[in-house]
Amino acid sequence: MGQNNYTSLHGFILLGFSDHPKLEMVLSGVVTLFYFIMWVGNTAIILASFLDSHLHTPMYFFLRNLSFLDLCFTTSIIPQMLVNLWGPDKTISYVGCVTQLYVYMWLGSTECLLLAVMSYDRFTAICKPLHYLVIMNPHLCLKMIITVWSISLAVSVLLCTLTLNLPRCGNNLLDHFLCELPAMIKIACIDTTTVEMSVFALGIVIVLTPLGLILISYGYIAKAVLRIKSKEGQQKAINTCGSHLTVVSIFYGTIIYMYLQPGNSASKDQGKFLTLFYTIVTPSLNPLIYTLRNKDMKNALRKLVRVDCESTKSKRNQKS
């Protein structure tokens, strides 16, 4: 039997937080709560921005994509994680693990690039307001989204295939609560220095290149905001960009600390908690961050709630 046939037949065991049984009970409740908040918040943003014609602009087109991405990203992990937290069975099938590995890498890479695209949208809106709708036309926006998803898919296929081809010699214990690259590389039974360096190098490209573009965009935005004479105009620009900048800081800060450290710099429990943070907490906070300072989004959400309440009342009247 081949070296990797064992895991192909028996799957993997996700150790997760199994050495802390009491913590698993607490985490299952916390994760369920945040998962519910994430679904409600991101679904509300998608519906509100789609149904309100005032929000049919490039900014909200990209925000809808981010909300959809967060829904998919979190859903690719949390259901399996909850199954493992609730019961003694910590296994995941080989197909399930491989699927999760590819999807998780694909969606995570997509979010890195999408945040860079959103920063370019804000740069165009503030630095070139008169040409904004001409530059950020629907055709270009769609083209940018397709490019982002395609590049991320290519990166995912390359890195995940490289990792899965490593011999594991029957090792199927993953010291994590999901199937991700570092955990898969650790169970290989050969020297993985070359693969780790490849992952690290591509990580720099997929994480630091978009971050560099974001910082350049916000450098120009800062200059443009300082030139605005009215305080009201400055405040509006700050509110518009502040939400995106907050999301970027939280997401990239965690990712850089987690993945751009060669070797095993972070402790295993610290790594798990950080992964938990950006896979469930950050997507749950994004809708809140984007609506707190955004009057247009607040109004759209109010309309959505009002329409829902009116439809509920009309149904009750029909029954009576």
**CATH 1.20.1070.10 is the classification of domain 12-298:** yes
The two three-digit tokens of residue 116, written as one number:
């860079």
- The answer to whether the CB of 63 falls within 8 A of the CB of 114 is no
- SS3 call for 249: helix
Nearest to 12 by CA among 113, 83, 90: 90
At 216-225, the pLDDT tens digits run 999 999 898 8
pLDDT digits (tens, 9 = 90+) for 180-236: 888 888 888 888 888 888 888 887 888 889 999 999 999 999 898 888 888 877 887
Find tokens 């009057």 and name the residue.
295
Mean pLDDT of the residues in the chain = 84
d(CA 84, CA 73): 18
Q: Which of 44, 52, 43, 49 is nearest to 63 (CA)?
A: 49
C-alpha distances out from residue 280 to 42, 138, 177, 276, Å:
12, 31, 13, 6
If you ran DSSP here, which 8-state letter would residue 55 be given?
G
pLDDT digits (tens, 9 = 90+) for 75-107: 999 998 888 888 778 888 899 999 999 999 999
Contact 179, 104 (CB under 8 A): yes
> In the chain, what are the domain boundaries?
12-298
What is the average per-residue pLDDT within 117-124? 93
Q: What is the pLDDT of residue 199?
A: 81
Instruction: Indicate whether 141 pLDDT > 70.
Output: yes
| Residue 36 pLDDT grade (very low, low, confident, very high; cuts 50, 70, 90) | very high
pLDDT in the model for residue 201 = 84
